[in-house]
Amino acid sequence: MSDPERLNADRLDGKAISEQVRQELAEKVADFKKRHPTFVPKLVAIQVGERSDSSVYIRQKSKACKEIGIEFEHVQLPADIRQSSLDAHLDRINNDPTVHGIIVQLPVPEHLNTKHIVHSIRPEKDVDGFHAENIGHLSKRATEPFFYSCTPLGCIELLKRYNIPVAGKNAVVVGRSDIVGAPVAMMLTKLDATVTICHSKTSDIEARVREADILVVAIGRLEFVKADWIKQGAVVIDVGMNAKDDPSKKSGYRWVGDVEAGAKERASYVTPVPGGVGPMTVAMLLSNVVTSAMRHFEASSSVTIVPNPLTLQDPVPSDIAIASAQKPKLITQLANELNLAQTEFEPYGKHTAKVTLDVLDRLKDSSNGHYVVVTGISPTPLGEGKSTVTIGLTQALYANLKRPAFACVRQPSQGPTFGIKGGAAGGGYSQVTPMTSMNLHLTGDIHAITAANNLVAAAVDARFFHESTQTDTQLFNRLCPKKKGTRCFANVMLGRLSRLGISKTDPEELTTEEISRFVRLDIDKDKIMWRRVIDTNDRFLREITIGEAATERGMARKTGFDISVASEIMAVLALTTSLPDMRERLGRMVVALSKQGEPITCDDIGITGALTVLMKDAINPTLMQTLEGSPVFVHAGPFANIAHGNSSIVADRIALKLVGVPAGEPVTAENAGYVVTEAGFGADIGFEKFVNIKCRASGLVPDAAVIVATVRALKMHGGGPDVVPGKPLADAYTQENLGLLEKGFANLRRHIENVGKVGVRAIVAINAFSTDTPAELELVRRLAREAGAYDAVPTQLWAKGGAGATELAEAVARCCSEARQSNNFHVLYDHNLPIKDKIEAIAKQFYRARSVSFSDEAQLKIEQFTRSGWDKMPVCMAKTQYSFSANPALKGAPEGFDLPVRDIRASLGAGFVYPLCGAMQTLPGLPTRPCFYDIDVDTESGDVLGLF
């Protein structure tokens, strides 16, 4: 702050200085807002009761805030409020990220605990500077408080503004209150004054005052310090404000300080009363609010990058050994690095948390970070390390390039975890941690989906049973029972009435015909589409018979189980954009057809609200971290071959905002972070659905696509021997064979072309194995670039973590920067096209099929869906992941084949129709030697063993 001219030889004019401070603050706020349009400082003042003097002070602060550009909120509470209710208000305001300062107008009613109230305000919002943590830091030379108390700070500001030297001077403070005396003494000490504190027990105060070069009096006693005590030329700061009888005044009194007025005849400087310290107190409060707001804005404008260094070993230990050796950050630390408010995340243990969708509201005006999707070539049954590349690339961007980076991946199903594939947390030194939590229950989302799905199944069968055994009257009396002589509809029933064209809301007004239509869904037992699910590979539940008990005699029917991640509810979770949207999607899921061929939805069953309750926590993505400390969202887990195979839209959206750029800020290659999201299996499946289903629903636009390829898989596509899990690889895969590799490159070339078809730049990540030769890696690199890839980079993420993908990360950064200048992304087809045309667009343009043939059943379904208006949704192809065709044995890049569609189904909740191409298994079985043989727990330490 600039030094003012001396306003008066013996007057420390707090009023004039406070006006200067306010003007400077107004200019400071206006200038900051020009550069950062979303910047809005905010002060909340809590007033308990209606004391007239408190109300005056509140109005003064409100007016001052408005002049400077600070938003002011006055929270008026009743005088008889309970302490717990006041605490609840403080907790809400403490956790509101838009609030930068909180004050409680004192005094409060006697039944409230003032000390408790003051210490309930978070120190970083305690703009009065009263919290013990803020005052405590004053006494330490090595630390600073968030805020200095306003009145002491005003005293110090006056000394600074008048260029009054403090260092080496004798300073005497009369009064030792926590609000003024003690803090101002510590602040003078920090300015290198020699400080003496006097109080009611101090002997011979007069003698001590006479030694003061600087005297601060805050004892609250009228004219306590006599004028003749003042040292000649001393500086006197009188904090007191006392009413003294004065018949000459209209009010009958005048304001005087703690120091006799005659002190000005001996002092070099003195503060007037009033007009001295008082105006400075308000000015310093405003300054603290602006400081807090700027501090918060700067801190929350970018992610704090704190890598967790790896200690690499050679040979590379097992995944679980690596994960166990690397100590992750506490989830609260990671949340703080991401600038999440305390109300925006809910810890589940030490290392995982749910993040609420409130983040999207707070950051709605921020620009998104760069959006990168990781896909792959047509894989071998062993997988090509797509998850490992997703995690390793994120680690490289974060820990090596020091850029904000977020990975978004699907939650693994316990079916493969205990079956043959194992977990899906990445591998080697590129993992999500704790990997045991991720691969097991995590935060219970899949369990919630299982419970919700099976509740629907139970409700459908129960409704069929009750309609089969009861009259219309009996059904009506049970669905709308009289309670205290009155019937009423449940809220969910009103929607069904509306769909039936019945506008009545009083059950007693329904006619007999309307009652029958309302209570009878008339489910066709043979057209119940909804199946139960389980998150276990269990081949014997694929086809079952239910209703065999004597109590359900005559109700038996054939049905079956799918794996939980194949449930339509999983697809709904992955594609929803908000809680209301999820409820709507759940309500429109079709569970059966009536005997008249009409669709029956969850809304018709009356179960939508209950499903939403089961899923309300699952909608929030789970926050975890990589081995190197970069953040990860694990959310949703639809399979890619039988569903759309991508993690959730809400996870991607939140991540993009968290690593994005505040509203009004220019988006540059340097200040925008990266979100790396994964699309399941090859680009013909997961990436195609990412584009045509996920991006269509989310409106998000990718900046780059990373295609993961391995020498092993390319050799297989070139005609190499079958790759079989559990069996040693043939020599062709462990020895150099450039001819086989070049022939198989046709598969990767096709995927590069397909990614380019939708206007996305493709970067090939060659996931290198120890058996790959330099010549093989260079061949893939050269051929990929010749095929049109933006770049092709060998990586060693499994063995080296982020350090093994630095070149890949640099290529991704360059690509994203260029994409922001020129992005030609587009979906493959118009969703308004007829269903057949959309299927053929995918089959002919992405798969290179010559034709598509439809079974009679599929043809009938298409006609039925078109009549029902279900033909305007995108298509989710269900086909093998091992080939562009429906034949898994047809490797390489086949073309000119026929794609058979044997059936087609509708997922109205998810918002797509899905054709079934060839035989697709929706519930895997266990192999001869499942993974569970190796999984155990160390009963001494509690550590999980054998998980990978």
In degrees rounded to 5, what are phi and psi of residue 281?
Answer: -60, -45
Of the candidates 42, 61, 836, 861, the residue annotated as catalytic is: 61
Contact 646, 664 (CB under 8 A): no
* Degrees, nearest 5: CA angle 318-322-328: 155
Contact 798, 760 (CB under 8 A): no
Contact 237, 215 (CB under 8 A): yes
Name the maximum alpha-carbon separation found in the chain. Answer: 111
* Adjacent-strand bridge partners of 624: 632
**C-alpha distance from residue 818 to each of 618, 756, 861 (Å):** 36, 15, 44
Dihedral, CA of residue 326, residue 327, residue 330 and residue 331, to nearest 10: 20
Burial of residue 902 (CB within 10 Å: 0-12, 13-18, 19+) is middle
Which helix (H) or strand (E) is 623 found in, with range?
strand 622-626
- DSSP output for 694-728: IIHHH----SEEEEEE-HHHHHHHTTPPPP-TTSP
The rounded distance, in Å, linking the Cα atoms of 337 and 659 is: 11
Pairing, β 590-594 against β 523-528: antiparallel
Burial of residue 645 (CB within 10 Å: 0-12, 13-18, 19+) is buried
Tokens linked to 592 = 């059966």
Tokens linked to 61 = 């602060």
**C-alpha distance from residue 838 to each of 489, 572, 689, 842, 914 (Å):** 42, 21, 13, 7, 11
Contact 706, 812 (CB under 8 A): yes
Q: How far is CA 133 from the centre of its chain?
A: 30
Contact 319, 388 (CB under 8 A): no
- Nearest one of 749, 653, 669 to 701, comparing CA atoms: 653
The rounded distance, in Å, linking the Cα atoms of 878 and 864 is: 20
- Nearest one of 772, 709, 742, 685 to 377, comparing CA atoms: 709
First to last CA, the chain: 60
Q: Where are the alpha helices (DSSP H) in 771-848?
A: 774-786, 797-800, 806-821, 835-842
The rounded distance, in Å, linking the Cα atoms of 138 and 145 is: 6
Is 484 one of the catalytic residues?
no
If phi over 0 gives left and psi between -120 and 50 gives alpha, with beta otherwise, what is residue 287? alpha
Q: How far is CA 279 from the centre of its chain?
A: 43
The rounded distance, in Å, linking the Cα atoms of 451 and 669 is: 44
The rounded distance, in Å, linking the Cα atoms of 626 and 70 is: 40
Tokens linked to 684 = 């013909």
The rounded distance, in Å, linking the Cα atoms of 448 and 923 is: 18
- Nearest one of 118, 153, 184, 187 to 284, comparing CA atoms: 153
Mapping DSSP onto H, E and C, the string for 75-114 reads EEECCCCCHHHHHHHHHHHHCCCCCCEEEECCCCCCCCCH
Enzyme catalytic residues = 61
